[in-house]
């Protein structure tokens, strides 16, 4: 389980060691990251997997620089190695019996992030990025950076190296951190015995709530839980001097599913776009010349392949395959802007609720059952009406909070009054997060 309290403690140790004792940043990050992994209770097999992945990538990076003609084969051999480990752990071959909140078998702590990070590292070496740093200590520090190691956000190796040279962004980090605690506190209230207390969703665990309220609340919970943790990671990283990109921009207010994916888990979408979608599109667009296939058709095909890979990354079962297919279909074929802008926002909001419900359901049968029950008027009593109204208000308030947060992290240095106002609001977020017991719960994306 991701320990936020430990994350905060180690951030304080890092700042003290860097500024007070003048310890070298690379050594400080490596030692703290190893201790963080130790307290995360990794199994011997997990540690061996991480070490093997790091050694393979570093040696492969040296080989690519010395033998550029075979660089493609080296990269693909590493990808095959990472995918083999991914499949082995996802099908629970070693019977570790470790599952996350969604009851999916989890990967070793940090493995998923490293799998993406190391692939980008090798590709950047192949592209002969002259600014890329190849020092062993800097390589380990970037790979093992403990706030980001659990679930990202996914960044390129070069961007990560550049972060080490930047000054600390303490106030901006404080804003992101407090906002993240506030979100996790709200998600903890939703994920309680009073509302959504069973994740993954099942049909027989909600005696009082109407299916429509379950769908709405579970989507809000999913967003608050995931984006809240990312806000915390980004916040502590900025305080430490690592300027990680924002990973969520209130995705419910989107005019299409393509627009949604530009606001939801942004780093994941950008990684697949940069290292899979665009290279494959470029390759196939040249191969189809002379055939009766348009570039647009190829683009739609690659969209389906991209989401299929994202679906497999989440889990090796039918639910995630259907989730990937629905996402790809909505992105590739559905856009109501030509008919009506208002219709496009409303339809996209409904699509988002549908795919989130599928993701959070135990299986496809549960998903279909929840959708069918959401159209029934039985049991939609005063209690459910009040929950529906409160949920609708919460959606609107979260949109305003996100807009305010964006302003805080970009404009808070312009004048003294705004600085004080920003500090007061984010301190309020901090207090609410502490009162609502932000740490009492799991992060949905843990182990993916």
Domain ranges in the chain are 4-163, 170-256+335-435
Residue 167's pLDDT band (boundaries 50, 70, 90)? low
Give the start-end residues of each E strand in 206-279.
none
pLDDT at 306: 95
For residue 38, is the peptide bond before it cis, meaning its omega torsion is within 30 degrees of 0?
A: no
pLDDT at 10: 92
pLDDT at 199: 78
Residues 6+ apart with CB under 8 A from 100: 106, 442, 444, 445, 446, 447, 448
Tokens describing residue 329:
């279909």
Q: Which of 448, 447, 36 is nearest to 240 (CA)?
A: 36
Partners of 99 in the beta sheet? 105
User: CA torsion sign, 319 to 180 to 230 to 103?
Assistant: negative
Tokens describing residue 186:
């709200």
In this structure, of 175-189, 306-320, 425-439, the range with the lowest mean pLDDT score is 425-439
Residues 6+ apart with CB under 8 A from 353: 215, 216, 219
Spatial distance between the Cα atoms of 211 and 447, rounded to a whole number of angstroms? 28
Tokens describing residue 157:
């190796």
Does an H or E element contain 408, and which? helix 382-411
Across the range 423-441, mean pLDDT stands at 78
Query: Would you say residue 408 has pLDDT above 70?
Result: yes
Across the range 10-27, mean pLDDT stands at 89
Across the range 204-221, mean pLDDT stands at 83
Whole-structure pTM value: 0.91
Spatial distance between the Cα atoms of 96 and 85, rounded to a whole number of angstroms? 14
Query: Would you say residue 93 has pLDDT above 80?
Result: no
Question: What is the average pLDDT value for the chain, to the nearest integer?
Answer: 83
The contacts found for 419-425 with CB under 8 angstroms, 24 or more apart, are: 419/171, 422/171, 422/175, 423/171, 423/174
């Amino acid at each position: 389980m991701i320990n936020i309290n430990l994350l905060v403690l180690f951030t304080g140790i890092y700042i003290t060691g860097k500024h007070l004792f003048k310890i070298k940043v690379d050594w400080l990050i490596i030692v703290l990251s190893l201790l963080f992994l130790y307290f995360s209770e990794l199994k011997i097999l997990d540690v061996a997997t991480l070490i093997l992945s790091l050694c393979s990538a570093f040696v492969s990076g040296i080989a690519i620089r010395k033998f550029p003609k075979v660089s493609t084969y080296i990269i693909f051999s590493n990808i095959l190695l990472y995918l083999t480990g991914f499949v082995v752990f996802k099908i629970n071959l070693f019977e570790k019996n470790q599952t996350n909140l969604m009851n999916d078998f989890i990967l070793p702590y940090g493995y998923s992030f490293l799998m993406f990070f190391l692939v980008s590292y090798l590709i950047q070496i192949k592209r002969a990025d002259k600014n890329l740093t190849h020092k062993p200590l800097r390589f380990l520090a970037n790979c093992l950076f403990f706030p980001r190691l659990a679930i990202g956000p996914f960044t390129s190796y070069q961007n990560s190296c550049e972060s080490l040279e930047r000054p600390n962004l303490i106030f901006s980090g404080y804003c992101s951190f407090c906002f993240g605690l506030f979100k996790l506190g709200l998600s903890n209230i939703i994920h309680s015995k009073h509302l959504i207390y069973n994740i993954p969703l099942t049909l027989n665990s909600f005696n009082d709530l109407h299916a429509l309220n379950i769908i709405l609340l579970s989507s809000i919970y999913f967003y608050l839980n995931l984006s809240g943790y990312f806000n915390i990671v980004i916040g502590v990283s900025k305080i430490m001097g690592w300027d990680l990109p924002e990973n969520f921009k209130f995705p419910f207010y989107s005019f299409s599913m393509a627009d949604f994916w530009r606001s939801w888990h942004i780093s994941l979408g950008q990684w697949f776009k940069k290292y899979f979608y665009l290279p494959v599109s470029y390759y196939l667009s040249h191969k189809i010349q002379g055939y009766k296939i348009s570039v647009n058709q190829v683009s739609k095909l690659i969209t389906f392949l991209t989401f299929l890979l994202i679906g497999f990354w989440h889990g090796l079962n039918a639910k995630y395959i259907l989730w990937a297919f629905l996402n790809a279909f909505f992105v590739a074929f559905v856009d109501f802007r030509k008919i009506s802008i208002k219709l496009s926002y409303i339809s996209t909001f409904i699509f988002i609720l549908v795919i989130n419900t599928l993701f959070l359901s135990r299986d496809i049968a549960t998903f279909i059952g929840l959708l069918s029950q959401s159209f029934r008027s039985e049991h939609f009593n005063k209690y459910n009406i009040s929950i529906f109204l409160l949920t609708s208000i919460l959606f609107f308030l979260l949109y305003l909070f996100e807009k305010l947060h964006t302003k805080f992290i970009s404009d808070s240095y312009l004048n003294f009054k705004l600085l004080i106002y920003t500090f007061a609001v984010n301190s309020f977020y901090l207090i609410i997060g502490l009162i609502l017991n932000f740490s009492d719960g799991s992060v949905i994306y843990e182990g993916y």
